[in-house]
Amino acid sequence: MLSLTQTERDGLWREMIEAIEEYIVSVKSHRVAPKVDVDALRRKIAEVDFERPMVPRAALRWVTGLMWNHQVHTPHPRYYGLFNPNPATMGIAADALVAAFNPQMAAWGHNPAACEIERYLVALLGEKFGYPRESVTGSFTTAGAEANHTALLCALVHAFPAYRTGGARALDGPPVLYASSESHHSVVKAARLCGIGGDAVVDVPLDAEYKMDPAALPPLIERDRSQGRLPFMVVATLGTTSAGVMDPIDRIADVAGREGLWLHADAAWGGAAALVPELAPCVEGIARSDSITFDAHKFLSVPMGAGMFFTRHRGLPERVFAVDTGYMPLTRGEPVEEPHRTTMQWSRRFAGLKLFMSLAVAGWKGYEEAIRHQTAMGDLLRERLRAADWQVVNRTPLPTVCFSDARDPGGNGLERLRCISDAVIASGRAWISTTTLGGRVPAIRACVTNYATSADDIGALVADLDAARAGVSR
């Protein structure tokens, strides 16, 4: 029953490929966001009765129908959301192959090809970020959150060798790290998961553009040291979630260097700037970091999840993660890294293949063009918004655009902006969101996350916003 007959498979594959192709071709004509009725959805799912199994093609049709109508279509060119991409075709193919070949990536010996493909990608991308080839190491992760968690663990073991065996209670005081209040909340979760508690993350004040203010860092470090806390790390965010801005990592690196802190670059989205010559200056200094988080499932448009962790401290991940077992196969006599000894996971999906196959076909040049196009669409959006009396309230070369209503400056409370954003979403024609920059400036947020978003799509969004504004009173 678990392996279908060849005839059944033949029919299933054909229909599945048709369903995928139909989705790719037609999603742009569909509502971006569904209208959701939770009770109806639960009733519908419960219609599937495992006491009365379905035929394979019926199951396929049932599921595709459900997904068409019950998800926010992040691959839609008018999804202006939270860094979720339109998956590259080669990435979709790669993920299907991975499911079928099902490599087990805990032990190198089980999958030398898969492990070496990932090693190759980590080395090449690490070099793009400016890490020296001879010291770069790292791994694919489930996503950015795991990469940030890995960075915290590495920084802790590096700063406090006793942490590895004794945990936080083996330290002479509470460890603290620094991140701006606009940093990603996975840093707080990582602190909790490391056993140092969420309060270990100290908010660093922002400058007027919602970037970390490096001048605010030394007094915080001094205060914490004088109170018996143990500063060990600073996180610079390259591409903040709300405003898409880059913390000034070069100046942060000066402070981290002087104070002996581990510098982590959380470049999950913005790191892609390193691949485009005219955008690279905005991540200048990233090479000075001790570790980097980057998500291939964001700006590099591979299907989720494909996080990446990089560090220039070769050998450190093994110190952090390796445990000796009698049962895990080890490859002897070869200079290879065993993933189960250098990462958080054991059984692990071959996440790197979708990036490898996508890069193999698009090339660096293809990626450069896609990133450049999205950036140009972001510039066009800013231009069209200003022309239609919207005020852009963030400043970044990347395509995250935060704005409010210039026609009615007194009416820019979060509630009214939310009503405008909700009206756009309810129209089904686009997906946007709202945020509060620096915890105080409400804004509508639209981010170009799709390589297929065109000038027409941008024009349509601004028209939808205008219609929504007209329909929402103060």
| Shortest spacing between CB 297 and ligand PLP, in angstroms | 7
Q: Is 307 in the site for ligand PLP (CB under 6 A)?
A: yes
Q: Is 241 in the site for ligand PLP (CB under 6 A)?
A: yes
| Shortest spacing between CB 62 and ligand PLP, in angstroms | 29
Residue 289 or residue 412: which is nearer to ligand PLP going by CB?
A: 289
- For residues 271 and 298, give the distance between their C-alpha atoms in angstroms, rounded to a whole number: 10
Residue 64 or residue 142: which is nearer to ligand PLP going by CB?
A: 142
Q: Is 237 in the site for ligand PLP (CB under 6 A)?
A: yes
Residue 143 or residue 420: which is nearer to ligand PLP going by CB?
A: 143
Q: Which residues contact 387 (CB under 8 A, 6 or more apart)?
A: none
- For residues 67 and 69, give the distance between their C-alpha atoms in angstroms, rounded to a whole number: 5
- CA 61 to chain CA centroid, Å, is 31
Rg (CA), the chain: 24
Residue 186 or residue 343: which is nearer to ligand PLP going by CB?
A: 186
* DSSP output for 115-132: HHHHHHHHHHHHHHTT--
Closest CA to 382 of 323, 465, 320, 271: 465
Residue 241 or residue 404: which is nearer to ligand PLP going by CB?
A: 241
Among 79, 131, 269, 390, binds ligand PLP (CB under 6 A): 269
Q: Is 85 in the site for ligand PLP (CB under 6 A)?
A: no
| Shortest spacing between CB 236 and ligand PLP, in angstroms | 10
Show the tokens assigned to 126. 């690490």
Q: Which residues contact 307 (CB under 8 A, 6 or more apart)?
A: 140, 141, 142, 143, 144, 145, 146, 147, 268, 293, 294, 295, 296, 297, 351
Q: Which stretch binds ligand PLP (CB under 6 A): 14-22, 143-151, 223-231, 412-420?
A: 143-151
Q: Which residues contact 397 (CB under 8 A, 6 or more apart)?
A: 273, 279, 282, 375
| Shortest spacing between CB 464 and ligand PLP, in angstroms | 26
Q: Is 256 in the site for ligand PLP (CB under 6 A)?
A: no
Q: Is 449 in the site for ligand PLP (CB under 6 A)?
A: no
DSSP state of 228: T
Residue 307 or residue 378: which is nearer to ligand PLP going by CB?
A: 307
Backbone angles phi, psi at 69, to 5 degrees: -105, -5
CB atoms within 10 A of CB 398: 25
- For residues 106 and 339, give the distance between their C-alpha atoms in angstroms, rounded to a whole number: 5
Q: Is 83 in the site for ligand PLP (CB under 6 A)?
A: yes
Residue 390 or residue 431: which is nearer to ligand PLP going by CB?
A: 431
Residue 344 or residue 468: which is nearer to ligand PLP going by CB?
A: 344
- For residues 198 and 188, give the distance between their C-alpha atoms in angstroms, rounded to a whole number: 5
Q: Which stretch binds ligand PLP (CB under 6 A): 104-112, 138-146, 217-225, 462-470?
A: 138-146
| Shortest spacing between CB 191 and ligand PLP, in angstroms | 14
Among 114, 200, 235, 268, binds ligand PLP (CB under 6 A): 268
Among 144, 175, 271, 378, binds ligand PLP (CB under 6 A): 144
3-state secondary structure 74-99: CCCCCECCCCCCCCCHHHHHHHHHHH
Q: Interior CA angle at 14 toward 8 and 17, to 5°?
A: 135
| Shortest spacing between CB 83 and ligand PLP, in angstroms | 6
Q: Which residue is nearest to ligand PLP (CB)?
A: 144
Residue 95 or residue 338: which is nearer to ligand PLP going by CB?
A: 95
* DSSP output for 254-299: HHHHHHT-EEEEE-TTGGGGGGSTTTGGGGTTGGG-SEEEEETTTT
Q: Is 264 in the site for ligand PLP (CB under 6 A)?
A: no
Residue 160 or residue 350: which is nearer to ligand PLP going by CB?
A: 350
- For residues 84 and 407, give the distance between their C-alpha atoms in angstroms, rounded to a whole number: 31
Q: Which stretch binds ligand PLP (CB under 6 A): 115-123, 207-215, 264-272, 354-362?
A: 264-272
CB atoms within 10 A of CB 47: 7
Q: H or E element: which one contains 231? A: strand 230-237
Residues within window 162-191 making contact with ligand PLP, judged by CB under 6 A? 184, 186
| Shortest spacing between CB 284 and ligand PLP, in angstroms | 18
Q: Is 294 in the site for ligand PLP (CB under 6 A)?
A: no
Q: Give contact residues for ligand PLP (rule: CB under 6 A).
A: 83, 143-145, 148, 184, 186, 237, 239, 241, 266, 268-269, 295, 305, 307
